[in-house]
């Protein structure tokens, strides 16, 4: 018996591409010039697409042929990446972006 590959290399490239594109689009929609927020958005997009494409899709997989890249796994990757980016936007709205420098002293 051949051991199954945990993650296909073509899938990793697809999740990186999907997450990067969605992260880039999200950062462009916000039009913030902050480089840290841009990188953070890209990383969250990649993380969400990887979680959706591998882990959430694994809950619905059956059989050995299910490890291949398909429309369903791409749709799950896009959905989870969008959900992660929406959660990031909600957290930024509630807490605010990180600011460089020291905190102001309380009076």
Q: Is residue 103 part of a domain?
A: no
Q: Is residue 53 part of a domain?
A: yes
CB-based contact 67:54 (threshold 8 Å): no
Q: Is residue 81 part of a domain?
A: yes
Domain around 14: 9-93
Is 60 or 66 the better-scoring residue by pLDDT? 60
* Count of structural domains, the chain: 1
Q: What global pTM score does this model have?
A: 0.74
Report the pLDDT value the prediction gives residue 1, as an integer from 0 to 100: 43
Task: Choose among 42, 58, 46: nearest CA to 8.
Answer: 58
Q: Is residue 104 part of a domain?
A: no
Report the pLDDT value the prediction gives residue 67, as an integer from 0 to 100: 60
Q: Is residue 29 part of a domain?
A: yes
pLDDT surpasses 90 at 47: yes
Q: Tell me the DSSP string of 17-80.
A: HHHHHHHHHHHHHHT---HHHHHHHHHHHHHHHHIIIIIIHHHH--SGGGGS--HHHHHHHHHH
Q: Is residue 58 part of a domain?
A: yes
């Amino acid at each position: 018996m051949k051991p199954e590959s945990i993650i296909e290399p073509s899938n990793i490239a697809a999740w990186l591409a999907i997450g990067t594109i969605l992260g880039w689009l999200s950062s462009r929609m916000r039009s913030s010039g902050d480089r840290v927020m841009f990188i953070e958005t890209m990383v969250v997009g990649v993380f969400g697409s990887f979680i959706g494409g591998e882990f959430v899709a694994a809950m619905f997989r059956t059989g050995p042929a299910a490890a291949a890249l398909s429309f369903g796994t791409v749709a799950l990757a896009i959905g989870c990446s969008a959900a992660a980016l929406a959660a990031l936007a909600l957290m930024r709205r509630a807490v605010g972006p990180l600011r460089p420098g020291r905190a102001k002293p309380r009076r």
